[in-house]
Homo-oligomer: A and B are copies of this chain.
């Protein structure tokens, strides 16, 4: 069922609340792929009702980013959601969600100064704002985010903790193509040649994982291994490659003694792709 109106959506979740039914929420920008599907399936397992939001959120795109070009296909998204047993697809208009004189900002500091946050100023403010709004409208018990956007997961978890939102953030594993490329709505932009070149992201992370498995604990050595793999791909241009603490996202140097996240962002031609692995020490 496609729901556009905030008021109607509130009415539906309130009714579910009265019936004692738990709500699992999957926020998306549409263009749903198997990564989203895995979130929806997990939500369906753990909750009585599943709501998927489909909203290409203008406030999280920078002025020179791909807001207008971002792939949109609400009918296809709705069809997939129906097949997966989703109870409501919530897709409000930006005009209903954002007042022209909106003046409230939700900012998570520290965690957003690094990685994508430093490359995309204002991006996480936009994410926090829209996520806070959807949490308040949908009042879910659990919200499902893909671990592919590892920084987003960390930022949203911090916001939920700091603002005492009464819900659990569930981070779900990255879903990959058979050849290892992380699923992304932006993969459709890639030419066949770029699609092949994009495999370098996962390949470099596999090299790092293998080094860790063999006992390598020096962050600089790991980072150098990642970089030297990626630079061999002529179509790739590195945006960032880091070894960070998996909770604080603080960049680690020297000996690794705790659980880490290795997030990378690489331009393949004009398309910016991200990927990551976590590793428990």
Contacts and interface: CB of A to CB of B under 8 A. Distances in A.
Interface of A: 6, 10, 17-18, 20, 97, 99, 101-111, 128-129, 132-134, 136-137, 139, 158-159, 161-166, 248
Contacts of A6: 164
Contact of A165 (B20, B101, B106, B136): B136
A110 B99 CA distance: 14
Best-buried of A17, A106, A248 by chain B (most CB within 10 Å): A106
B106 A105 contact: yes
Contacts of A107: 104-105, 107
B133 A163 contact: yes
A204 to B, nearest CB: 30
Given A103-B108, A103-B111, A107-B105, A139 B158 contact: no
A158 B133 CA distance: 13
B166 A99 contact: no
Contact of A109 (B105, B133, B159): B105
20 contacts: A10-B166, A17-B17, A103-B108, A103-B109, A103-B110, A103-B162, A104-B106, A104-B107, A104-B128, A104-B158, A104-B159, A104-B163, A105-B106, A106-B163, A132-B163, A133-B164, A136-B163, A136-B164, A137-B164, A139-B139
Contacts of A132: 163-164
Which 8 pairs, one residue from A and one from B, show the smallest C-beta to C-beta distance?
A104-B162, A136-B164, A133-B164, A103-B109, A105-B107, A103-B110, A102-B162, A137-B164
Given A18-B20, A129-B162, A136-B166, 5 more contacts: A17-B17, A104-B106, A106-B163, A132-B164, A136-B164
A266 to B, nearest CB: 27
A37 to B, nearest CB: 27
